[in-house]
Amino acid sequence: MRVKDRFAEHDWQRDGVILAVLLLLGFLYFAKVGTLVPGPTPAENEAIASSKTLLSIVNNPLNAPHKLLQYGVQKAGFDSIAVLRVVSGAFAILLVVTFHRLVRKWYSKRIALLTTCLLATSSWLLAIGRSATPNILLSSWFFVIFLLLWFRHSRNVKLAPPLLLLSLTALLYIPGTVYLVGLIAIWYATSAPTFFRFMKKLPITTGLIAGGLLLAPLIISFVRQPSLLSDWLLLPDQLTIGDFLQNIRGLGTTFFYQSLPNPEFWLGRLPLLDALTGTMVLLGVYSYRFHLRMERTPLLALVILLGIIVIGAAGPQLVFLLLPFVYVLVASGLAYLLERWFNVFPRNPVARALGTTLVSVAVIFAGYYHLNRYFVAWPNAPETKAIHSIEK
């Protein structure tokens, strides 16, 4: 095919939509990123200091993907708090794009778009995605699931194995990710040979060797500083059954009723989910009773259960770990709601359009609520101003 024909057949409209979406996401996560609040928090100062030199990263390689990007930014001469926060924003945008791609495989275009809008505009993702701390990496569990499903359905037998192994190795530098990787290894232990049966040995061997070399600094750091191992495993100094149960009870409260005070990331003691999102979560959990035989159902259930256990042991500050999966339940709830509505009006286009419009308007209002909560109410709260000191 000639170049002119390829140019004419290219889907420029799709490219335009993708560009517009990326620009909108860039505006959400980069606009006023350095001026919305007075200055960096102590946690941001600590994160920036830990990524100033390669030696400091080698001494403590936990959260290395975030630290290396911040190091590169500082090495290039951009050391303003705004640019350093952009690193987290890039990870947040990657999460939103990955979320849309995965949800689009499971649900309709409409549901994927609506749920992705709820995720992208949620005040909790804006908070951690516009912070210089590596908290955005707590969402890495979702990347692991995405990589796994991409690998299972990938037709590129040369690139898929090394890319999967290298990506998982990089994600293992993030505390807590080892639990999910271990769970997946156990879950697919019997069927794993089938995945690799038609793949050539050279790409697999290359990926294993490169992954081992990439993981070596992490292992060496554990030998030199055994205390880092407990941080990597998210193990608290001490844990009682009472603390564990209290953390799990507080998890539901944090989502739906009242969160613990944390002015660095959210406003007062407001719950993380709004009324619409919380309702869709409950409806999504209910709807999965009709999809128990789907391949993703037991996997998602195990991942969420594992996340609850980890948060119960390590504390509610790790709640961000579960939130992307909570929005998968939101997608299921929205899909179930519209499906019930369409079943009531199977041939009435006006009623079907009305149902879709009402749900879309509800999503717009939920997004507006979170945007107002983050960009207006949160930065003007006295507690927020107090923790964001002006001195760097």
Pair of tokens at residue 72: 């590169």
pLDDT band for position 392 (cuts 50, 70, 90): very low
What share of the chain has pLDDT > 90, as a percent? 57
pLDDT digits (tens, 9 = 90+) for 269-304: 889 999 999 999 999 999 988 888 887 888 899 999
Residue 192 has pLDDT above 70, yes or no: no
DSSP secondary structure code for residue 316 in this structure: G
- Helix count (H) and strand count (E) of the chain? 21, 0
Burial of 56 (0-12, 13-18, 19+ CB in 10 A): middle
Cβ-contact 102, 61 below 8 angstroms: no
Query: Position of tokens 């001026």?
Result: 35
**Cβ atoms of residues 51 and 137 within 8 Å:** no
Q: Do the beta carbons of residue 311 and residue 248 sit within 8 Å?
A: yes
> Cα separation of 60 and 72, whole Å?
17
d(CA 367, CA 138): 22
**Chain position carrying tokens 């207006």:** 376
Distance CA(202)–CA(200), nearest Å, equals 6
312-to-232, 321, 325 alpha-carbon distances in Å: 16, 12, 17
Secondary structure percentages of the chain, helix, strand, coil, to 5:
75, 0, 25
Average of per-residue pLDDT values in the chain:
88
Q: Above pLDDT 70, what percent of the chain?
A: 92
CA distances, 39 to each of 82, 191, 384 (Å): 10, 51, 10
Distances (CA, A) of 118 to 85, 277, 287, 369, 371: 22, 8, 19, 11, 10
Structure tokens given for 194:
């089938």
Q: 272 near 124, Cβ under 8 Å?
A: yes
Look up residue 154 and give its DSSP letter.
Answer: -
* Structure-token match 């390829």, residue found: 6
pLDDT bracket for residue 188 (50, 70, 90) = confident
* Residue 148 contacts residue 161 (beta carbons within 8 Å): no
CB atoms within 10 A of CB 352: 16
pTM: 0.91
The pLDDT-based confidence of 2 (bands split at 50, 70, 90) is low
Average pLDDT estimate for 314-338? 93
What is residue 359's predicted lDDT score, i.e. its pLDDT? 94
Tens digit of each residue's pLDDT (9 = 90 or more) over 140-187: 999 999 888 887 776 666 677 778 788 888 999 999 999 999 998 888
Q: What values do phi and psi take at 50, rounded to 5?
A: -75, -10
Q: 389 or 366: whose pLDDT is higher?
A: 366
